[in-house]
Structure 1
Amino acid sequence: MSTTADRSQALATLHELSQAVLTISRHLDTGEALRRIVRAARELVGAEYAALGVPDGAGSFARFLVEGMTDEQWAAMGPLPRQHGMLSVILHDPRPQRLDDITADPRFAWWPAAHPRLTAFLGVPIRDCDEILGALFLGNTAPPGNGRGFTEQDEELLTVLAAHAAIALTHARLYERERELAIAEERTRLARELHDAVAQKLFALRLTAEAAGGLVDSDPRRARLHLGQISALAKDAAEELRAAVGELRPAELDEDGLAVAMRKQIDVLDRAQQSRGGPRVTFRDEPISALPPAHEQVVLRVAQEALHNALRHARAKRIEITLGPLPRGGARLSVVDDGVGFETQAGAGAGAATNANAAERGLGLASMRERADSVGGRVLVTSAPGEGTAVRLEVPGGRPA
């Protein structure tokens, strides 16, 4: 006979699984759906660690989400893992892998020095028919050191979650295709609007200029009136052009490139802060490989959001922004301040983010993480009261899966 605790746990399990499924069915953010699935896998199976990896087609991962580790622990691990050892096995073998001790398996390779020690291991591929889209991994049964391995029931539950992850990833692919079609349609619409609106104004400009030219000698007063009309028409045309293309891509990225655009913005911001007694804002960069346009926009927007948070909340004396390369391509951004800091969610428990500033900062962090997820990147936040805040973004160099 089941106890009240058993029934409560079962209800909690159903609720978490339901939330993951609803997130997918409502076509919400794919990153959030996958995070819910990873969280559900860890909690429902009772694992110390859980992860979900989506390959990038180049030997690494376009997405790699982890539960059970703090941002500090994750940052200490270094770049995203490559597909080696058991990670590679699960991405190429359709069968689940359930091991009492992963390090004793001959297929085990290695892990970074900062990687947590794993014994019990359970991995299940995320499949769409015969195609493997990714994998769910669990490490160590909780509580740590209990000597228990994963069970057949755990494997069945993880297989169910992997099926829902496959739905989320399939939806993401469909959404990407729809988005590309929508972009093509939007470009066609913009071209049509530019032709209909701006082209008409340019035609009017030409006619007015010709009329003004013919009146310069015979009627200077009327010529000056025509010149005024030319100025007004030119202003209208410029505004319509700006409205049409302004949201497609920040102009400074096309003109200057990422690093130069960031330096210009930060220099202007620093001068403004110095004039009003604000913090010193500095920028340092190292050469990076060319990034896809969407990735550049994410880096720029996350830098702007992190700077906004620091200026609004940190009460810092100095904010340092750095941009540099990742070892295997891509870019790393960091925004570090020496301000008051705050309790991260991992360290604050249930009482975190109870005031308006913390809630607003939380929304900013969520926005940055969503932007990073959209290109297969990740955002790590390190902070503590009185110790400042560091926001670090990593984006891959290629197109995300």
Structure 2
Amino acid sequence: MAGGLPATRAAGTWAGPVGAHRPARPTLVVVGRAAVDRIGRMGAPGDPANRDTPSLGLTPLSRVRLDELLREMLDRVGEVVASRERLRALLDAVVGIGTDLDLRSTLSRIVAAACELAGARYGALGVVGPDRQLTEFITHGISPEAHAAIGDLPHGRGVLGLLIEDPRPVRMPDITRHPKSYGFPANHPPMHSFLGAPIRIRDTVFGNLYLAEKQGSAEFTDDDEEIVTALAAAAGVAIENARLYAVASRRERWLAAAAEITSVLLGEVRRTDALALVARRAREVAEAEMVLVLLYDDETERFTVEVLDAESTPGDRSGPADDGTRRENGLVGTVLPAADTTFSASVTRREQVLVDSLAAAAPWPTAVSAGPAVIAPLAAGETLHGVLVVAHRAGRQVRADDDAPLLASFAGQAALAMERARAQEEREMLVVLEDRERIARDLHDVVIQRLFATGLHLQSTMPLAGSRPELTGRLNAAVDDLDSTIRDIRRAIFELRTPATAELRTEITEVVRGSAGSFGFRPALEMTGPIDSAVPEAVRPDLLAVLGEALSNAVRHARAGRVAVAVRVAGGRLTVEVVDDGVGCDPAKARGGLVNLGERARRHGGEFEIGAAEPHGTRLHWTVPLPT
């Protein structure tokens, strides 16, 4: 037997010249098996194939033992080859999952690689949330149709919860026989063999890999567990890199948006336009479904929706459309008592608040996002203006500290926009007051003194008129006119120096705002043209009365969910238009206050009409000419 072993080894080893190409190991296996078959036939009595073959001197027992040794050696060689192939596949998988910096794509690659390495038919990666529940569940091997048929994804209970409770690899031949098995929901594919491994990022468990249904075998092996555990370790690094990249990219977008807002604030800006830009950029950067800006009134302790920017319906964004109407979905102008909201703490404590569902956070008049929302206070110095609400899609997991510093900066930008707009209005008012003071001073110090001197000069010329009474009368009349002019100028000076009464725009705004409590929302208001300067004092009381009566009528009869008010000065006419989406009214049955609106229009040579709005509701139109 000792003499035959070297010859057998020579038959299964490379005997070529040094430096020549060595055949691949699968070739070695083929040659070795041929040699085994040949040796097994040597010495067999009566075998025609062995008539010319020299005998190796092996007994039948020796041949059997040699056959077993060779087969064991070749099996081990095959295992080495298979191990090398699996190692190469593991390295390829690690490289593959490390090249993608998109987190969602990285998670999908990890699941697919784990299934391929372990030979699993089904795979999943469950992301564990702060409450130790599965917040995301990425699957492999199950079609979208099967997903829809199965229904809700698991939350991390039963066997899946084993790794959450004790994050160590788990392997079992039949998952259905485990004591903690919950069973499968309807339409779920059958699964038996199971392998699970935790994915860690440093010392924190990010999630777990779940594999089921070993293909070609009844259960997963030790080698499967080792290679999946190794993949999970590499996956933790890849996931952390993807998360860091996502954070850096998001921070870059926040900073770019903040720079854009800052540049806008440095120019002339209207408050609503600035807030609309803040809301739009916050929604885009946070990848939110909806962003709201709510202003807070300390006196009434109420929130008012000032700006809305939504993902799905661009028409929801507040602002004038091309036809002069307001484009909104009924949320803009909504008044919410702070006591009825769950985010009033953002105002009282001036800190960010996370609510699980925006829809349940307040009594909204129309549908809003049912997903989680982060509410940040709009504070500038000691002044608190309201809150910035960033609402996400339902099912998305959001933590209050994900973008806390950046969102706080954005909320500060919104508050700064409001402060700047208010400061700009105050500067404009100060300029007007300074102009009034200058005009009053010039009238008093220059114009009146010149008129007074002219009057004295005319009086001094009266003796020169002599016996011409008509000339004396004209001189006296001129002096009287000068005195009257001086009195008028002095009265104008007094009015210029007297604190101005409320601007007409302000009074219109107050009338509309005052109706919000009756409606349950604030009507949309649009004012265009030189309303303060073009509307005469005689028309002003009628304008305010018409507006108040129109809104009161809508409150009493319309049962409206949306009211839009437009006050315009254009083409030498003042126009008031009030449109609601209520039940409508019959113009023939108009009486009382509505009749008075027509009389107020005719008093100034104007017109009044009331009719149906499209697609439903009432449209009230009141217009009068303005003096040229």
- TM-score, normalization by structure 2: 0.33
**Structure with larger RCO (C-alpha < 8 A, sep 6+):** 1
Q: TM-score, normalised by structure 1?
A: 0.50
Larger radius of gyration: 2
Structure holding more helix per residue:
1
